[in-house]
Structure 1
Amino acid sequence: MRHLSTRSRITLGIATAVAAASAFAVNAQAAPGDAPAKKTEAAAPSGMNGPYLYLGWGNPPDAAQFLQETGNTQLTMAFILAQGGCTPAWDGQRPLKGGQDEQTINAVKEAGGDITPSFGGWSGNKLEEACGSAEELAAAYQEVIDAYGLKSIDIDIESTAVESEEVRQRTVDALKIVQGDNADVKIYLTFGTTPAGPNANGEDLIKKGAEAGLDAAWAVMPFDYSDGTTDMVAATKSSVDGLKDVVKGAYGISDEEAYQKVGFSSMNGVTDVEGESVAAADFQQMVDYAKEHKLARVSFWAVNRDRPCEGGGEASASCSGIDQGTWEFSKILAGYQG
């Protein structure tokens, strides 16, 4: 998984994204005189169906209004990185408290919704690498959990982080500590895949998790294939089937149980690989497949892109590059309740 415009590949780069965040800052509170956002109750387990929202680029929508318009009750917010040493911060720059990120989280909660912070991604200074021990990494995760009273976290482990056996082990060990201290916090690990399922790094990560007794949900990103794959529905199903087989073997559980511990995060519209794209109809088939197997997580990158490009232009940080309705993927995902 090498390309920069995906969920984990921040097109503008971290430095530029931080500047863009200021330009595209989200006013998460309703404007004076506006009707208050409709409150909804999150029916699905925390993190099960939250699409990715990134405040760093792509003209992000008002989060509370987005929930009201789409029927979604969850959002996955990206990305928490290291701000020097082992200190967690949004994009490695913005503090956990007092800024637009907390403002957005508060607005989502006020609207009856739920958020799942995503740690890591492709770019930037990752906590999983910056923290010197599992104990320090667990403390960084705990700081974020405590800051927002979280019910779930997503570890988007990619690039050099997932490629390092030391980092893979540190991440699993840290999450095991977190789980011991937060029995009710759901843990998701998200990573790249081949059309046949996880590569050797992903397989080892799952094996380490099983050996540690980590009760987590494992999600692959079935896009940005480098082998000419164009049938994204078939490739998503085969990727998740392969993931299920690895989890089944590692945990010694049944097919049915393994499907309920896995999931996927797609990419809406044109991806980073020439000739590869996911249409709304494709995503609907993916969600139907998830319903069939009761997958633990379904998501996509990103809300920012879940709208057509003005004048039929090319895909960018703020549009998908395909013929679709505004928030069409999000509305499909809202229908997934496990």
Structure 2
Amino acid sequence: MNRSRTAGAVLATALLMAAGPVTAHASASGPSARTLPQHIFAPYFEGYSGDDPAVLSAESGDKYLTLAFIQTPAPGSCTIDWNGDPSTPISWATYGASIAKMRARGGDVIPSFGGYGADSTGEEIADSCTDVGKIAADYEQVITTYGVTRLDFDVEDFSQTNAAGIDRRNKAIALVEQWAARQHRTVQFVYTIGTNMTGLDEPDGTGILQNAVANHARIDIINIMTFDYYDDQPHEMGKDTVTAADAVIAQLRSIYPHKSVEELWHMLGITEMVGIDDYGPPEVLTTADAAYVERWAARTGIAELSFWALERDNGGCVGTAGSDVCSGIAQSTWQFSHTFETFIRH
């Protein structure tokens, strides 16, 4: 996460054709994934923290987590690891036991590729590797290793303007979708991208979406990051989430004219940064803002609600902006989680 505007702001990417119900499939190494809910709350877990996702899932009550991040160990590589660290490879030995515990409690995980660290250093897999077939094979490796039914792609910073990487990523997604069809396996794809108050950046954001369409890459959820606007304006972060989402839907209507407005809303995701975000005040998502967003999300019927990040969901550093370990505001531990968890129960 940690959105940056240095490359011209916000990334965007692809959407389309809502997939049917996700089918559960067994991993060769552990229990099978479950069908994910049509409307899901899945906050990001900071994989570089050294924490156990199963432990934090149980403590917070968050059944579903988005595991961040998968990337290459160096620019030019076609090999992926968790956080680019060869000591945490894509294998059941890494996170497998935790995933099994979460599934036993009725939850699951969504592996996430990219993130600001990878996107700003050329270590996002589609930026790093020039072989589309190998990129697709990496995606398939994650799907089969963990038996997951959804992948997330967090694309920011330089990755949002790297035309070759954008094209390779969408081509690889299309290849995986063809592979999944042959395997009778349903896999969903999520693009986590930035937004301004006026919607996705033009032409970068809309261009990525158009590239996905041109490559016949079906993206099931467009998950917009409603924070780090970097516009030096006062913000009411809850209400501004709604304003940004409305603007994005207006853009998607022209890009995907065969989709109804209702279908587009059902393919939208929202990711907040709880508390004080990287930009700092006035961008502060309060606990009251979170309740406002959850009620709006439930009424609207969006596909996904999330936040950055689970390890920040505590009040341990009041006044600190953009910390990895606390929200920077006064709150009870797991207060944002408990607020957003209600979204699944609506």
Pick the TM interval, shorter chain: 0.7 to 0.9
Secondary structure of 2:144 counterpart = helix
Shift of 1:79: 0.3
- Asked if 1 retains the 8 angstrom alpha-carbon contact of 2:42 and 2:65, the reply is yes
| Shift in Å, 1:300 | 0.5
1:266 alignment partner AA: E
For residue 42 of structure 2, what is the aligned residue in structure 1?
50
Equivalent-residue separation in structure 1 for 2:332 and 2:59 (angstroms): 13
Shift in Å at residue 313 of structure 1? 5.9
User: 2 CA distance for matches of 1:231 and 1:100?
Assistant: 40
Alpha-carbon distance in structure 2 between the residues aligned to 1:213 and 1:255? 21
Query: What TM-score do the two structures reach when normalised by structure 1?
Result: 0.82
1:266 to 252, 268, 272: 272
Q: Name the CA distance, whole Å, in 2 between partners of 1:106 and 1:83.
A: 26
- DSSP-derived class of the 2:271 partner: strand
2:24 equivalent in structure 1:
none
Aligned to 1:109: 103
Residue number among 58, 67, 83 corresponding to 1:77 in the alignment:
67
Question: Which of 286, 290, 295 is matched with 1:288 structurally?
Answer: 295
Aligned 8 A contact 2:47 2:83 in 1: no
2:240 match = 235
**Deviation of the 1:100 alpha carbon:** 4.6
The whole-number CA distance in structure 2 between the counterparts of 1:214 and 1:266 is 26
| TM-fit CA distance, 1:108 | 1.9
Identity of counterpart residues, as a percentage? Answer: 28
Give distance in 1, aligned partners of 2:107 and 2:83.
23
Q: Secondary structure at the match of 1:123?
A: helix
Q: Do the aligned partners of 1:63 and 1:107 also contact (CA within 8 Å) in 2?
A: no
**Which secondary structure state, in structure 1, belongs to the residue aligned with residue 331 of structure 2?**
coil
- Stretches of structure 2 that go unaligned for 5 or more consecutive residues are 11-33
Q: Which runs of structure 1 show a deviation greater than 4 angstroms over 4 or more consecutive aligned residues? A: none
Structure 2 counterpart of 1:151, one-letter code: T
**Kept in 2: contact 1:121–1:158 (CA 8 A):** yes
Quickly say closer, same or farther: Cα 1:97–1:123, change in 2 above 3 A: same
The CA deviation at 1:95 is 0.8
**Which residue does the alignment assign to 2:113?**
119
How far apart, in 2, do the equivalents of 1:70 and 1:53 lie? 12
Contact 2:35–2:149, Cα closer than 8 Å, also in 1 = no
Residue equivalent to 1:13 = none
Matches of 1:329 and 1:196 in 2, distance apart? 26
Tell whether the 8 Å contact from 2:5 to 2:230 is kept in structure 1 after alignment: no
1:2 aligns with: 4
In the alignment, the residues of structure 2 paired with residue 122 and residue 251 of structure 1 have an alpha-carbon distance, to the nearest angstrom, of 28
CA distance in 1 between counterparts of 2:255 and 2:94 reads: 41
Shift of 1:215: 2.7
1:141 to 118, 135, 139: 139
CA distance in 2, matches of 1:237, 1:103: 38
SS of structure 2 residue aligned to 1:336: helix
The alpha carbon displacement at 1:98 in A equals 5.4
Number of the residue aligned with 1:246: 251
**Other structure's SS at 2:41 match:** coil
The alpha-carbon distance between structure 1 residues 313 and 158, as it changes in their structure 2 partners (threshold 3 A), is closer
Over the aligned positions, Cα root-mean-square deviation in angstroms equals 2.3
Q: Does structure 1 residue 188 correspond to structure 2 residue 190?
A: yes
